[in-house]
A and B are shown apart, each in its own frame.
Chain A
């Protein structure tokens, strides 16, 4: 286990200690204990930068399940490092912010920070694993921690709804991704991402290639909230604002983008991939920005804005994938879209993170996020206003902020899409710059709404719950840092060019010859004849016109029929599924254990019987049997007599005693067959279970009339005869069919040699098959807790009713 592995799981380890820290140091806000970890990790990951900057990668492998090709391979390259820095950097800022956002008296801080650390570790695992199965495990863990964080205020109905929605949609995608992983494994025979990328060209013609591609995209699209799966993200805004800033804007929703970027070398040779990623991306970009305008909730606007920006990055990755067909042309003609995607990914994390924090401040200080109630806060909260203005202007793509640079580069990438001579791009490609431009107008529009409706206009103190004032310093530091980055990157983009180059090297490794690198150059000014400049100017003019006339045209949002909305579709779908499942279950679950036993036994007879017939396995071989002694006959007779008597006994007590007799006799059989361990266990078990029966005996009703009916009895008779017959036949056949040598020889030989024991049964239990025992006792424990819960819960409910 290397330091890198330790760094990845260190948040999970710290999570174990959070409840204790919270309990014993409750005077100190629990967040302070967390803060050093992401900060330290940030600097630790920074130390890898000199290596990844030159296109190198570091891999540390820890064997996990070598026989299945699964090992915990941690690999850090340009792409992984960028995400690791985002996760830890933004993570540190969010933790600092949350210390001031969440009150230590009112909130369940221990739970909050455990979930947050769980997420941090899981997310690091996603972006730094080289093994797809490990990546998948961490991927699902991010979904779970996101579920827990959205539902953090679980007394609110909307929180629970949002948590469930995000869980259902992202886990659906995750499972689909697991399917994709398995298909890739079938094609390549490995789970290692770097090895799969190594054989990228060989699998394109395989019949599983397209299904695997679609499975992976479903995973990426659901996670990154792409149309039509975006509906979970607005509802996820029920989470506390630090969580929205962290998970649902800066990191977790970008996992899908990470996946697409990571697998671009494998899949982007296919036209379907390019069209799906670029097409869905640009559709999401438009739909997100268009829908953002109609919202009155600040976080709602930001949610749709995030959806749209994610779509934008996705579309750039799609278009940039084309570069695989053309190679690395000198001025990066085709790779510019990838450059723009990486650049915008960084920019989005800075401005959107700060905007979420600003909205959190407004919410915290005024008690509302509704723009109809807000207004005129500029003079009351000047610092917050400045932060919001810079963040939104960057988002709208205005100079001199970093959003402007990536937006121009985005236009460049989209304009070049129509010049690609592949996959019908020469005809349909023209749609990309047009949709991109329209979406940018709406982006500009909602950005203006966000800042001006909140901070300018009429101040309405009567509609606010609290008297607004500037936020505490601790809440301002994180957004100030992010906004400074917005400005610094905007003015001096060359400081992150090396970072972008290293990420591109990881996304498009096949385009680099040995020792070569990408050269990224970001410029502010493209000249008067560049179309990008005029597109930006057009966006600003059209945006201002639309903003001025907002009340005149915003009616179109009401024209859209509610009945056909995706949310409605999701809700009714869920409701119908539950109803259908309940009806179906109601058909066969009647609440009587004896009915269920009949189902189980009938199924057992059926499945075992058909297998035996199908495999032609019935066989009777008497050549290798021991002689029958008279006491064996006696014991068998006792068992037979007692079992038959049980059938006719009138009282439960008699039945229990007779059943005990059967059990004890069986243990005598074990003695005869020289199995002292079994005999001992059977004896004690019989004793304990008779005692247990006697206890339960109190609670059971008298043997009822119901059991006396002829049909009922006949059915049971048939089932029991069937079970007895099939078990006997299988036992006889098992004895007669000796297809291979029994494993017992191995145990006889190795019990002392390898395990240092002499009692084979026990050595098998604790050593050779220790896994079985471990899980058996786990199941036993769960069963006991289940019985405890059922009985205790029933008792308390009875009290409430009584």
Chain B
């Protein structure tokens, strides 16, 4: 069955970048405003799901040749690695550190190890969602 989804395809081409950008914003803003790794990750996967709906799995995997299972592993390494990093400085597991620096353009910026941990969450969420959807989608 050939469906006519020209509108969906055209719209999603534009919207996709907005969603991804917005999800990145939410990811970074998480510590001060609504957002965070979990929502950010879900929204990014939502963008990819939109692509899947507009096109098909084959097209999407050619555009994004990512092995999402590896993404889960990398994400977990990020999270566990940040958590274990504290041990090197003689503080308990999962102790975060943060500082504020003045960066050009951005002004006063907070640097926080929680961002690294959250990056892990972000990657795992994308990895998990996409692994599940791709696996089920492929099993025709």
B120 CB contact (under 8 Å) in A691, A699, A758, A777: A777
Contact B26 A680 (CB under 8 A): yes
Contact B34 A677 (CB under 8 A): yes
* Nearest neighbor of A774 in chain B, beta-carbon distance: B79
Query: Which B residues lie within 8 Å of A672 (CB)?
Result: none
Interface string of A749-771 (1 = CB under 8 A from B): 00000011111011101110011
- How many chain-B residues does the 8 Å CB contact rule pick out? 50
Contact A784 B136 (CB under 8 A): no
A780 CB contact (under 8 Å) in B112, B117, B124, B140: B124
* C-alpha spacing A761/B94, complex, angstroms: 17
Interface flag for B24 (CB, 8 Å): no
* C-alpha spacing A782/B137, complex, angstroms: 19
Interface flag for A424 (CB, 8 Å): no
Query: Which B residues lie within 8 Å of A770 (CB)?
Result: 83, 94, 96, 117
Contact A758 B32 (CB under 8 A): yes
Query: Which A residues lie within 8 Å of B83 (CB)?
Result: 770, 774
**Interface of B: prevailing SS:** helix
Interface flag for A494 (CB, 8 Å): no
Interface string of B17-36 (1 = CB under 8 A from A): 00000000010001111111
Contact B96 A681 (CB under 8 A): no
* C-alpha spacing A777/B75, complex, angstroms: 9
How many residue pairs at the A-B interface have CB separations less than 8 Å?
A: 141
- How many chain-A residues does the 8 Å CB contact rule pick out? 42
* Nearest neighbor of A781 in chain B, beta-carbon distance: B72
Contact B36 A762 (CB under 8 A): yes
* C-alpha spacing A411/B38, complex, angstroms: 70
Question: Which among A52-60, A682-690, A724-732 touches the partner chain?
Answer: A682-690
Contact A677 B36 (CB under 8 A): yes
Interface flag for A473 (CB, 8 Å): no
Contact A758 B31 (CB under 8 A): yes
Contact B135 A792 (CB under 8 A): yes
B112 CB contact (under 8 Å) in A757, A777, A784: A757
Interface flag for B8 (CB, 8 Å): no
* C-alpha spacing A788/B68, complex, angstroms: 11
Query: Which A residues lie within 8 Å of B127 (CB)?
Result: 781, 784
Contact A695 to B37, CB < 8 A, known contacts A770-B94, A774-B94, A784-B72: no
B128 CB contact (under 8 Å) in A685, A696, A780: A780
Q: Can you list 27 A-B contacts with CB-CB less than 8 angstroms, sorted by A residue number?
A: A677-B35, A677-B39, A684-B42, A688-B129, A692-B132, A695-B137, A756-B98, A757-B112, A762-B31, A765-B36, A765-B38, A766-B96, A766-B121, A770-B83, A771-B94, A777-B120, A777-B125, A780-B72, A781-B72, A781-B124, A784-B68, A784-B69, A784-B128, A785-B69, A787-B132, A792-B135, A795-B139
- Interface set of A (CB-CB < 8 Å, partner B): 676-677, 680-681, 684-685, 687-688, 691-692, 695-696, 698-699, 755-759, 761-763, 765-767, 770-771, 773-774, 777-778, 780-781, 783-785, 787-788, 791-792, 794-795
6 more A-B residue pairs beyond the given contacts A761-B36, A765-B121, with a C-beta to C-beta distance below 8 A? A692-B136, A767-B96, A774-B79, A780-B125, A787-B136, A788-B69
Those 9 A-B pairs whose CB atoms lie nearest each other, nearest first: A762-B36, A676-B34, A784-B128, A756-B98, A757-B31, A777-B124, A684-B42, A784-B131, A758-B32
